[in-house]
Amino acid sequence: MDGTEYRIKRTWMLRMSHGEDLLAEAGKIALHKGISMAVFSIIGAVSCASFGYYDQKERRYAKISRDGDYEIISCYGNVSLKEDRPMAHAHILFGDEEGSTFGGHLMSPTRIFAAELFLQELDGLQLIRKHDNTTGLFLWE
């Protein structure tokens, strides 16, 4: 894989809306700002957590949801196009009141208590997600 070189266009630091869904809000921000390619990170706290583990044999996500208040210790993701719409894909690590961590592929519902987004729009060859027969996932072409 040679990869493609990208340049950073615009950069945002913004507070995400209390009570909104974390993944949906990331996608909404990209859509409203006209972003089709970006990398982002988020720190903050949530009042419920949902994440997935991809079962490679079954080719589907097992979804895990936990009610409760958790820290977003780390969340890293990207934005690219899937079916002509910006799609946010992120992985997240949560922390609980005992300092234990858990996480995976970010899913909904994950309710924002408070969250700070750092997002960098990228300039270069557009990344488009298409279904990949080898993995069953929507991967970059």
Which residues share a beta bridge with 106?
51
Which residue's CB comes closest to Zn ion?
A: 105
Residue 90 or 112 having the CB closest to Zn ion: 90
- Tell me if residue 32 falls in helix, strand or coil: helix
Residue 44 or 77 having the CB closest to Zn ion: 77
Q: How far is the CB of 118 from Zn ion (least distance, A)?
A: 19
98 within 8 A of 77, measured Cβ to Cβ: no
Torsion of CA 84, 117, 62, 94, to 10 degrees: 180
Q: How far is the CB of 105 from Zn ion (least distance, A)?
A: 4
74 within 8 A of 43, measured Cβ to Cβ: yes
Q: How far is the CB of 128 from Zn ion (least distance, A)?
A: 17
Q: How far is the CB of 135 from Zn ion (least distance, A)?
A: 11
Binding to Zn ion (CB under 5 A) within 75-134 occurs at 105
Q: Which two tokens stand for residue 9?
A: 């266009």
Total binding residues for Zn ion by CB under 5 A? Answer: 1
Residue 105 or 111 having the CB closest to Zn ion: 105
Residue 55, classified by CB atoms within 10 Å of its CB into exposed (0-12), middle (13-18) or buried (19+), is exposed
Q: How far is the CB of 49 from Zn ion (least distance, A)?
A: 15
93 within 8 A of 77, measured Cβ to Cβ: no
Residue 66 or 69 having the CB closest to Zn ion: 66
Residue 69 or 129 having the CB closest to Zn ion: 129
Residues lying near Zn ion in the complex (CB under 5 A) are found at: 105
